[in-house]
Amino acid sequence: MSIDRTKLRWNGWGWAATKDALAGRDDIWKWLAEELGMPALLATPARPLDEIGLPEPRLAARDIAALGDIVGTDRVKTDKYERAFHARGRSYHDLLLLRAGTIDAAPDAVLYPRGAEEVQALLALCDREGIAVVPYGGGTSVVGGAGAVRGDHRGLIAIDLSGMSRMIATDPVSLTATAEAGIYGPALESALRAQGMTLGHHPQSFEFSTLGGWIAHRGAGQQSHRYGKAESWLLSARLATPRGALATEEFPASAAGPRLTDLVLGSEGAFGIVTEATFRIRRAPKLSDYRGFLFRDFASGTAAIREAAQEEIPAAMLRLSDGDETRFYRAFSRLGHARRVADYLERAYLRLRRFPDAPCALIAGFEGDEEIVRDARRRFARIAARLGALALGQKPGQRWYRGRFHGPYSRDPMMDHGTGVDTLETAARWSRIDALYAAVKGALETAIVDTAPRTGAKGVVLCHISHAYPDGASLYFTYIFPRALDREVEQWREIKRRASDAIVAHGGTISHHHGVGEDHLAWMEAEKGTLGLDVLRAIKKTLDPNGIMNPGKLIPN
């Protein structure tokens, strides 16, 4: 099952026919303007496609014909919609450019291969003819990983893998499965659930991202506390490269040197294209239990997560919002609703319990057999109670679970109202988390004020712990700010630079699960070191000697 690209937004998120839930909600935009210190929010609609020009294709008719000889002429797309759709991913920077119609580079053609052999043949042709290649899965990269960069090559194509979506095999004895890389999250899970199995990988982009993309960007799902990041569940992969097909090891364990599979994880299309993967699966959980807790502050909630991770409590998810994130989303959800008696009673109760005005909400999720879920839930509840948390029951968890994929849909209407919305994430050891959190949050808040369109304007910086490990955790920041419409890209770059500098200075990784793409290139040497980058360049030179694969990503020039 693949997705019809023409039914998706070419310059935004998700299905084009999805109703804008915020349309006509003047109360929301008035409230948000107050949050951002603005008198009002300006209308900033996206330019329609028919008003936008694209760069002239550089490939000649003979090149298009040669590509068509490999995949079939009906699978070579050169129309405006396909080229625009595949010009960029879905980062804030990407959307700024797409919405403004500033498309300086777009693929000359989009190819839809039907199998690994066709992908390999396309790469051989492009390597021989000096044509750059951008691998395209779901196109949901938020770090500039799917942008069209031609470089010095005479042409550029996008290879869209959505036609390669077969579930190839399932091994219930070994608890493994093999699928083509272009399979989307819902199709993959549906096929596994039909056999009583699950991969359990559910990123926020789940509906529109693919198996190959999860691997290439070293992704993490919302329940990775139980099911693991991509490096935990990927067993082997097949990589089409300009030098030929690379098949990595399929053993459960081996001491025969470094694992070649690790070259595929996080490679972001710079070495080749993932065409197929074998991965661990689990039996589908008999019970899923998501519930809420309220902590007095971020420090006590962090301590609870750390203790749970180090005691190896088998939670599926422990997601802690800081005070600002808790307050913001709670206020947003109450807009348009009159205050109830229950609201006043709740506030009075929290004051009686000596909770501050900005407590921190945590969603704890547990999945598995009934006995495992019951035991894990009780163990975490004891930790939370000892740290002064208030148990809120299942309703908050159920609300989060129902809406867990809806967040990206709110970005487009916010950008329609002169508002910038971006995210960044990092991870560090527990001993560094407090300082890292304070430094990055402070850098974002200060940078937003310094780049704001008017005096008195400010941003809203939200953060939550998204993933936890025995030795550390991931911090996920969302920041909302009034756009400086005369210098939008420069504003974004300055905010991004200051936050990223703070991450590196305080011992965080430049990315926990979003990847590198274009946006994080400047900080790769600080993370990997000069020699480390030389190793990556040597691998690329071996697999992609002419540098045709996804130019301008992952590895600085």
What are 360-376's pLDDT values in tens digits?
999 999 999 999 999 99
DSSP one-letter string for 348-364 = HHHHHTT--SS-EEEEE
Q: 23 falls in which pLDDT band (50, 70, 90)?
A: confident
pLDDT at 123: 98
Residue 1 has pLDDT above 60, yes or no: no
Q: What is the pLDDT of residues 451-490, one digit of tens each?
A: 999 999 999 999 999 999 999 999 999 999 999 999 999 9
Percentage of residues of the chain with pLDDT beyond 90: 92
**Quick one: how far is CA 53 from the chain centroid?**
29
Across 137-272, the runs of DSSP E, i.e. the strands, are 155-160, 167-171, 176-180, 197-198, 234-241, 244-247
Structural domain boundaries in the chain: 44-163, 167-283, 287-404
Instruction: Look up the CATH superfamily of 287-404.
Output: FAD-linked oxidase, cap domain/gating helix (3.40.462.40)
At residue 341, the pLDDT reads 60
| Two structure tokens written together for 116 | 């690994």
| Token code pair at residue 361 | 């909400």
pLDDT at 251 over 60: yes
Q: In the chain, helix, strand, coil percent, each to 5? A: 40, 20, 40
Give per-residue pLDDT as tens, 166-205.
Answer: 999 999 999 999 999 999 999 999 999 999 999 999 999 9
Query: Of the candidates 549, 521, 504, 432, which has an alpha carbon nearest to the alpha carbon of residue 130?
Result: 549
Tokens linked to 556? 């600085």
Residues 176, 281: contact at Cβ < 8 Å? yes
Of the chain, the percentage scoring pLDDT greater than 70 comes to 99
Q: Is the pLDDT of residue 546 over 70?
A: yes
Same CATH topology for 44-163 and 287-404: the answer is no
Report in angstroms the alpha-carbon separations of 218 from 165, 183, 400, 409, 424: 20, 16, 24, 23, 15
Q: What is the pLDDT of residues 214-237, one digit of tens each?
A: 999 999 999 999 999 999 999 999
pLDDT tens digits, 290-330? 999 999 999 999 999 999 999 999 999 999 999 999 999 99
The tokens for 165 are 């979506």
The mean per-residue pLDDT over the stretch 478-505 comes to 98
Is the per-residue pLDDT at 277 higher than 90? Answer: yes
pLDDT band for position 62 (50/70/90)?
Answer: very high
Give the pLDDT mean for 97-117: 97
Residue 29 has φ and ψ, to the nearest 5°, of -70, -30
pLDDT, tens digit, 9 for 90 and up, residues 325-348: 999 999 999 887 777 766 766 777
Q: Which helix (H) or strand (E) holds 224?
A: helix 224-227
- Rounded-to-integer distance, Cα 537 and Cα 271, Å: 10
Closest by CA position to 117, among listed 71, 162, 75, 65: 71
Under CATH, which architecture does the 167-283 domain have?
A: 2-Layer Sandwich (3.30)
117-157 pLDDT, tens digit per residue, is 999 999 999 999 999 999 999 999 999 999 998 788 999 99
Choose between 22 and 138: higher pLDDT.
138
End-to-end CA distance of the chain: 38
Per the prediction, the chain carries an average pLDDT of: 96
User: Angle at CA 472, nearest 5°, toward 470 and 476?
Assistant: 130
In the prediction, which pLDDT does 148 show? 93
Q: What is the pLDDT of residue 399?
A: 95
CB burial class (10 A; 0-12, 13-18, 19+) of residue 7? exposed
**Considering only CA atoms, which of 129, 146, 128 is closest in space to residue 137?**
146
Quickly list H helices, 335-475: 341-352, 370-386, 395-402, 411-415, 430-450
What is the pLDDT, as a whole number, of residue 347? 77
CB atoms within 10 A of CB 341: 7
* Element holding 475 (H helix, E strand): strand 472-482
Helix (H) or strand (E) holding 303: helix 298-310
What lies within 8 Å, CB to CB, of 378 at 6+ separation is: none
Mean pLDDT to the nearest integer, 384-412: 96
Q: CB of 513 within 8 A of CB of 426? A: no
Q: Residues 485-498: what's their mean pLDDT?
A: 98
- The closest of 111, 45, 109, 58 to 80, measured between CA atoms, is 109
Average confidence (pLDDT) over 480-502: 98
Cβ neighbour number for residue 91 with a 10 Å cutoff: 24
Give the pLDDT band of residue 353 (cuts 50, 70, 90).
confident
In this predicted structure, what is the pLDDT of residue 357?
86
Q: What is the pTM of this model?
A: 0.96
CA distances from residue 317 to 34, 132, 221, 276, 469 in whole angstroms, order as listed: 33, 40, 10, 28, 11
pLDDT confidence band for 70 (50 / 70 / 90): very high
Report how far residue 441's alpha carbon sits from residue 463's, in angstroms, rounded to the nearest whole number.
8
* 266 pLDDT more than 90: yes
On the CB side of 235, how many CA atoms lie within 13 Å of its CA? 16
193 φ, ψ to 5°?
-65, -30
Cα-flanking dihedrals φ and ψ of residue 427, to 5°?
A: -150, 150
As assigned by CATH, the class of the 44-163 domain is alpha beta
